[in-house]
Structure 1
């Protein structure tokens, strides 16, 4: 076999064009750069297998639903229950049964670039999705838990076709139009809930970035409304913005 240069082999690796047959030949090549490349290839294969295994495991609630005769299984999650400012956002999504997105996980476990990439993939491939936003004024009127449930119901209402089973991250909702189950830490256990968590978080993060441009002193683009040290200092100095939740104790103390 004619030896390819290490530079060429690296390009083949980057392009995903190395295969087991070529790797088998390269094992006879004693060049250190080639052996390092083989290790990188093997590590990549192990990572891909781990992602495949994780994704398969995260499909078990959906697969059980299909086995029980359900056709449109929705996942639902929210973002923004804990912050001192900004809306709470809920998302519901029905994915096709053959949906596959390796690396999908709880949105908080993904970096910003991956979340935003997945956001568009999920919206593009979903059978249906709904996103609901409840602002801080309404949160103050009905409390954060009721606002979260309201957002979730609104997101469900946007789905077309309607779901015949709903997987929800940790929240029990009564009066839903179909069977449903609340799953503790569901955004790490169900692909549908994980997809919903991505839709909710990316939507909310974009809203907080817009609020940051209006009120940069609170640094919403970095803290997303959570009570960081810098955020609390800005609250004490500037008082509350129109986007702050005045019913939350830390905000109550500084409202003027």
Structure 2
């Protein structure tokens, strides 16, 4: 069993994405043995109001409820976000994806913390991508910075009841988030797609410092191909129990606790 906690469907504003439909992404998943994927709408990243992209995502994955797990993108600086959250809960979304740099708000702002609180009360997971694309691939029209690890640590400390997972990031091992006995609540998990397994070997360091239950498998499809993430699992020590934890058990534990309100 493999659960990918970091995938996307739909169009992106600045380049054509292959495998952007449900059928195309399923074909890629099947070719790599990936059973389920957490998905959000790629179009929502650049929409001022992401809600139409959330509705499009639900329609796209409707025929495949056993393969896709929907996460909504909500912009807390946009008027009406509370109504959007209610609509997403009724549609069966299991978590949120937040883009503070793309949508121009602070994770520690009152509206964002309010959104996190309300989503947490309804059992949703809070997923925060540190980046969307490699800076070398970004359009000349945008200059969106990565979310600093320090800002992630601040929101972890401020909202200990929430369950965060951080995707599309690296540099955790050298930060407070990757240190043992760091004084932070154990309410966050880290997705591995951009972590190093050679050089400073961030994956092994995080396993040693935080424990194997704090890492989750993800690929970044279709912005990225899944093969590098799968290869990282293969180069880990030949411990089948450890691989199973990262490939699916850690994700399944959190997703099982995020029961949908709607009919999905």
User: How does the TM-score come out when normalised to structure 1?
Assistant: 0.21
Larger Rg: 1
